[in-house]
Structure 1
Amino acid sequence: MVNPVVVGVDGSPSSLEAVEAAAREAALRGTGLRLVHAFGWPSPHVPPGMHPWSPNTAGLRELVDGTLAEAEQRARDAAPGVEITREVTVGEPLMVLEIESRTASLVVVGSRGLGGFGSLLLGSTAVHLAAHGHCPVLVVRGRPDPAGPVLLTVDGSPAGEAAVEFAFAEASRRGADLVALHVWNTWSEHAYEGPGDPLNVVADVERLQEEEQRLLDEAVAPWQARHPEVAVERRLVRSRIRPALIEASQEAQLLVTGARGRGGFTGLLLGSVSQALLHHAHCPVTVVRGKE
């Protein structure tokens, strides 16, 4: 059986949106859905002799049970028939979800969450999981176009191949078109950040463009051959990377990117481009880590 889809739950509106998205993903994959709620004590130290589930915390347990019951109902409404399990655990939320990712096919979180003991879904959680999770991580954000394509960012790195594979499989499951987008330029985005960045730093722009087109074609062609049912648009854009990807996400139902790229001006590094997508994309973002 396919490993379950795991979703972090804290009762916030963002987490409930994540639950609905996760339920639909589980239905597409024909697998179960696992609702996970993790929390720790407000202070760094548990009082001596007190267990987290002692009678003194009974009211807290009722609150958690109510949160999960609402989440489960939202999941059943979004995807009737999906098998749902719950997990409530005491622990640091980032670590709990990272551990869950080891046996999941996909981890889903919201882009915003609650503070306090139940803060599973703060922005730092999404970024941490995208960098350290053991399976693809879907961050639910923005207002996706349900009729839009799956948008794949292509950088041509070996590590990025896992994202290409995921994007084609996801487009096939959804019955959606796929736009494979490679953004290139003639400078390092780390060296130029202002609105007056030069567009012509090298002389042979045409030759460089041909190389970038070849990179895009070589990254996409093998997977396009394996998924003839997916209509693919290969899009080569000369622009600043982050703004171009964020703008393209306006027309998509899902954006898929690698966690780490080639480095340099075409690199999709989690600390820069991928973080920008997690915080500013107009649709949900799936970050897929390749082999190190």
Structure 2
Amino acid sequence: MRNYDRIMVNETGNGRIVVGVDGSEPSKRALAWAIGQARLTGGSVAAVTSWHLPVAYGWVPPADIDWEGEAAKALTEAVQAVAGNEPSVPIETVVVEGNPAEVLVKASHGAQLLVVGNRGHGGFTGLLLGSVSQQCVHHAHCPVVVIHDEAAAHGAA
């Protein structure tokens, strides 16, 4: 795992594809797509996940939970599940504390492409929640590819 601040030292135009990975199926599909694109273009993949302490009035998070460690474990497992033991392209894993959309937008500086999954929230729910993919599409510093959920793409509820 690399610290987020170090990912920013990469030079612009180096073929780096940033992909948001939270362990969900849509994010795994986004990772698979990013790996395929990197293979085609001779690029590399930066698989990025974020974490932050849950906030609720009157609730104190348990001190014995390693939030960063749990996020790193989920990222490692997702990369392993998609890419296997010997990935066909260089894959860097990055764990960052912060809001997922803000982390990915910041990581998009100097990237060739940002790839994110979409969980299919739309209409009023999408407006109300302000999805990560929406925020990335509107604020990223490079082109963004949104990989849609297979069920949503086929019109299933």
TM-score (norm 1): 0.41
Partner Cα distance (1:259, 1:271) in 2: 12
1:180–1:235 contact (8 Å) kept in structure 2 = yes
Whichever of the two has the greater Rg, that structure is 1
Aligned length: 133
Amino acid at match of 1:257: V
Partner Cα distance (1:205, 1:180) in 2: 26
2:113–2:142 contact (8 Å) kept in structure 1 = yes
Does 2:27 match 1:168?
no
Match of 1:280 in 2: 139
How has the CA–CA distance of structure 1 residues 205 and 163 changed in structure 2, closer, same or farther, with 3 Å as cutoff? farther
Residue 213 of structure 1: how far off its partner (Å): 1.4
2:15–2:44 contact (8 Å) kept in structure 1 = yes
Q: How does 1:60-99 map to 2 (within 5 A)?
A: none
The 3-state SS of whatever aligns with 2:89 is coil
Amino acid at match of 1:162: R
How has the CA–CA distance of structure 1 residues 238 and 209 changed in structure 2, closer, same or farther, with 3 Å as cutoff? same
Partner Cα distance (2:150, 2:129) in 1: 15
Match of 1:157 in 2: 24
Partner Cα distance (1:226, 1:209) in 2: 23
Does 2:75 match 1:208?
no
Partner Cα distance (2:148, 2:129) in 1: 10
Partner Cα distance (2:88, 2:138) in 1: 32
The 3-state SS of whatever aligns with 2:96 is strand
Match of 2:77 in 1: 218
Partner Cα distance (2:146, 2:129) in 1: 9
Match of 1:289 in 2: 148
The 3-state SS of whatever aligns with 1:251 is coil
Partner Cα distance (2:135, 2:110) in 1: 17
Structure 1 residues not aligned, in runs of 5+: 1-144, 192-200, 262-268
> Once superposed, what is the RMSD of the aligned Cα atoms?
2.8
Structure 2 residues not aligned, in runs of 5+: 1-11, 121-127, 152-157
Residue 178 of structure 1: how far off its partner (Å): 0.6
CA offsets per residue over residues 65-109 of structure 1, 9 Å max, x none?
Answer: xxxxxxxxxxxxxxxxxxxxxxxxxxxxxxxxxxxxxxxxxxxxx
Of 231, 247, 253, the residue aligned with 2:106 is 247
Match of 2:47 in 1: 180
How has the CA–CA distance of structure 1 residues 211 and 226 changed in structure 2, closer, same or farther, with 3 Å as cutoff? closer
Residue 180 of structure 1: how far off its partner (Å): 0.2
Partner Cα distance (1:181, 1:280) in 2: 17
The 3-state SS of whatever aligns with 2:106 is helix
Aligned identity (percent) is 37
Partner Cα distance (2:32, 2:85) in 1: 10
1:161–1:290 contact (8 Å) kept in structure 2 = no
Residue 258 of structure 1: how far off its partner (Å): 0.3
Residue 210 of structure 1: how far off its partner (Å): 2.2
Q: Compare relative contact order (CA 8 Å, sep 6+) and give the higher one, 1 or 2.
A: 2
